[in-house]
């Protein structure tokens, strides 16, 4: 068998990935299946095709969720191939308009939403010192979605960090981590963000930087080193930090109650689960609540289905993204759970938006902050 993944997809494989791809299952189209994308990569590399708007449409119809890789015997890294091709298509000026505009917004306001940069940390900064020159301790990297779209997650995370006894500092001049830029092909801009964030995080003097967002966690800890900007600071996702402080006895939530159980199901964010292997900590946190009965969805952990918002899919193809999200909600409600918890503001934003009131959706931070008291 050849070692070239792109060739392997095209000619030497049974193509099992087609049965799990969330996009191919929605569009019912072989072209958008993972191997279709790999063939496009192959043809582009060999200059057999030029790569125009239709090529770009297919290549951007991917959530970079990585589920196909789990079902691929030789483990072809389809998300990385897709991101590579996207960077080339962006250079060729055929990327979707929404992706081009994303880059413009990030350049001017340092976030993908185009919200004013000076409002990023305003709510959290009230009554709080800036994260300057404090040696040691925890810094909170808020992330764009918590800062602008899901401020209740930022607030809940701040409460938890305070309650765990460590306190926290904010990072002066935090910019978008770069995840949406990397996944849509804006590599140079992502590198600019990585360089900047490395400087400001290390300048804060913290020992640990905690992220709310699965994408921020993956980017800071996995992608910054690959881009040549490794952080000297330890990076933890909030779920890991929560489990750490619970185990250290700094956050007490193991209480009994005579009240009825809460049926909860957990959605693994692709960037936290499949891409970073963090499956157990969020579940351990949820299982720490005596009243929580955790019920797994049919597709969970390494086989978890994507919420449909990642990899620029929500940005470029909102209707397709919405249908994928609704599918995940259907799976969540089929468990009989009344609450769906995830551990990423981006997933929460998507799942809450498509849930149509069928199930309550929380980020882990919100669930913990809300139930710390009521579940005692
Ligand atoms: S991604 Fe893997 S499973 Fe899919 S066609 Fe390529 S080699 Fe086969
Ligand atoms: S990464 Fe996800 S959306 Fe993209 S081809 Fe693979 S399964 Fe499909």
Closest residue CA from atom 2 of ligand 1:
72
Q: What is the mean pLDDT of residues 350-370?
A: 96
CA distance 9 to 72: 9
Cα 31 to ligand 2 centroid, rounded to whole Å: 12
- Residue 288 makes CB contacts below 8 A (sequence gap 6+) with 246, 253, 254
Mean pLDDT of the chain: 92
pLDDT at 290: 83
Tell me the pLDDT tens digit for each residue of 35-72: 999 989 989 988 999 999 999 999 999 999 999 999 99
Tell me the pLDDT tens digit for each residue of 186-207: 999 999 999 999 999 999 999 9
Which domains are seen in the chain, by residue range?
A: 5-95 (no CATH), 120-246 (3.40.50.1860), 253-374 (3.40.50)
Tell me the pLDDT tens digit for each residue of 106-165: 999 999 999 999 999 988 887 565 544 456 799 999 999 999 999 999 999 999 999 887
Beta bridge partners of 170: 130, 140
CA distance 245 to 208: 13
**Residues near ligand 2 (Cβ within 6 A):** 21-23, 34, 37, 62-68, 78-79
Cα 44 to ligand 1 centroid, rounded to whole Å: 18
CA distance 296 to 245: 25
Cα 336 to ligand 2 centroid, rounded to whole Å: 28
Whether pLDDT at 374 is above 60: no
Whether the Cβ atoms of residue 350 and residue 312 lie closer than 8 Å to each other:
no
């Amino acid at each position: 068998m050849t070692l070239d993944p792109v060739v392997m997809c095209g000619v030497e494989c049974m193509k099992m990935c087609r049965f799990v791809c969330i996009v191919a299952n929605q569009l019912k189209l072989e072209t958008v299946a993972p191997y279709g994308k790999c063939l496009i990569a192959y043809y582009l590399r060999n200059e057999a095709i030029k790569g125009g708007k239709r090529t770009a449409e297919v290549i951007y119809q991917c959530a970079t969720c990585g589920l196909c890789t789990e079902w691929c015997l030789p483990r072809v890294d389809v998300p990385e191939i897709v991101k590579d091709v996207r960077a080339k298509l962006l250079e060729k000026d055929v990327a979707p308009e929404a992706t081009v505009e994303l880059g413009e917004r990030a350049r001017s306001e340092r976030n993908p939403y185009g919200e004013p940069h000076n409002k990023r940390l305003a709510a959290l900064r009230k009554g709080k010192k800036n994260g300057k020159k404090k040696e040691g301790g925890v810094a909170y990297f808020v992330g764009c979605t918590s800062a602008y779209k899901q401020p209740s997650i930022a607030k809940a995370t701040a409460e938890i960090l305070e309650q765990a006894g460590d306190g926290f500092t904010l990072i002066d001049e935090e910019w978008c981590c770069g995840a949406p830029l990397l996944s849509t092909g804006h590599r140079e801009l992502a590198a600019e963000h990585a360089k900047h964030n490395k400087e400001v995080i290390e300048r804060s003097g913290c020992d640990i930087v905690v992220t709310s967002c699965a994408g921020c966690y993956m980017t800071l800890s996995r992608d910054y080193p690959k881009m040549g900007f490794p952080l000297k600071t330890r990076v933890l996702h909030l779920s890991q930090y929560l489990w750490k402080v619970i185990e250290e006895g700094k956050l007490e939530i193991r209480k009994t109650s005579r009240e009825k159980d809460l049926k909860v199901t957990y959605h693994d964010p692709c960037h936290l689960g499949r891409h970073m292997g963090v499956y157990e900590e969020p579940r351990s946190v949820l299982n720490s609540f005596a009243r929580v009965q955790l019920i797994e969805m049919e597709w969970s952990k390494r086989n978890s289905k994507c919420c449909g918002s990642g990899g620029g899919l929500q940005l470029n193809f909102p209707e397709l993204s919405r249908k994928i999200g609704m599918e995940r909600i259907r799976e969540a409600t089929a468990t009989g759970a009344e609450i769906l918890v995830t551990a990423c503001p981006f997933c929460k934003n998507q799942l809450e938006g498509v849930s149509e009131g069928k199930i309550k959706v929380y980020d882990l931070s919100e669930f913990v902050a809300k139930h710390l008291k009521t579940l005692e």
